Amino acid sequence: MMHPHTFVAQTSCAYPNHFYYKAVTRANEFKGPAVVNVYTTCQPEHGVADNHSGTQSNLGVESRAFPIFIYDPEAGETVAQRLSLTGNLAVQEDWYTPPKSDRPFTFVEFARTEGRFRKHFDRDGNPSAALLAAQEDRLQNWRILQELAGLR
């Protein structure tokens, strides 16, 4: 996004409208360089069942581990006009809280759903310092995106 005329999209296979219609289609139409970064799981490496890649990709977005966005240099004069966080849940909040829960779905909660993070929890389910640092990193990244999009 620091290059003045580059289209950038971060998307997920779990959001087909965002992935195909907003990110890929617009990237192909854009008259200049375009980068599309797509998140999906690698089932064996992430410790996720083969039939859960869409579910896990959705959780990656909900937990702010991999927020989706579109940066379109032709969408306006300011960075806030060019950057869209549309598609993320609870864009004004630090974390998304699912409707049937009283707790936000944080990066640590996302990590609990994948085998690759198992070693970062002790026997009582407490996260390691490295995992808590990763959660703070994801929160700071989200806040920067909110700020750039004019939401903070």
Q: Tell me: the pLDDT tens digits for 96-132? A: 999 999 999 999 999 999 888 999 999 999 999 999 9
Q: Which class does domain 7-148 fall in?
A: alpha beta
pLDDT of residue 39: 86
pLDDT given at position 42 = 67
Q: What is the pTM of this model?
A: 0.90
Please give the mean pLDDT across all residues of the chain: 92
The distance between the two most distant Cα atoms of the chain, rounded to a whole number of Å, is 53
> pLDDT grade, residue 47 (50/70/90)?
low
Q: Which range is least confidently modeled, 3-7, 72-76, 86-90, 98-102?
A: 3-7
Determine the Cα–Cα distance for residues 105 and 59; give it in Å rounded to an integer. 9
Domain ranges of the chain: 7-148
pLDDT in the model for residue 115: 84
Cα distance between residue 114 and residue 40, in whole Å: 13
**pLDDT value at 46 more than 60:** no
Identify whether the C-beta of residue 53 lies closer than 8 Å to the C-beta of residue 40: yes
Q: What is the pLDDT of residue 48?
A: 63
- Residue 75: per-residue pLDDT: 96
Question: Which residues make Cβ contacts (< 8 Å) with residue 90, sequence separation at least 6?
Answer: 96, 97
* C-alpha–C-alpha distance, residues 89 and 76, integer Å: 23
When pLDDT is averaged across residues 63-76 and rounded to a whole number, the result is 96
Closest CA to 40 of 72, 71, 15, 64: 15
**CA-CA distances (angstroms) from residue 89 to 7, 96, 133?**
23, 6, 23
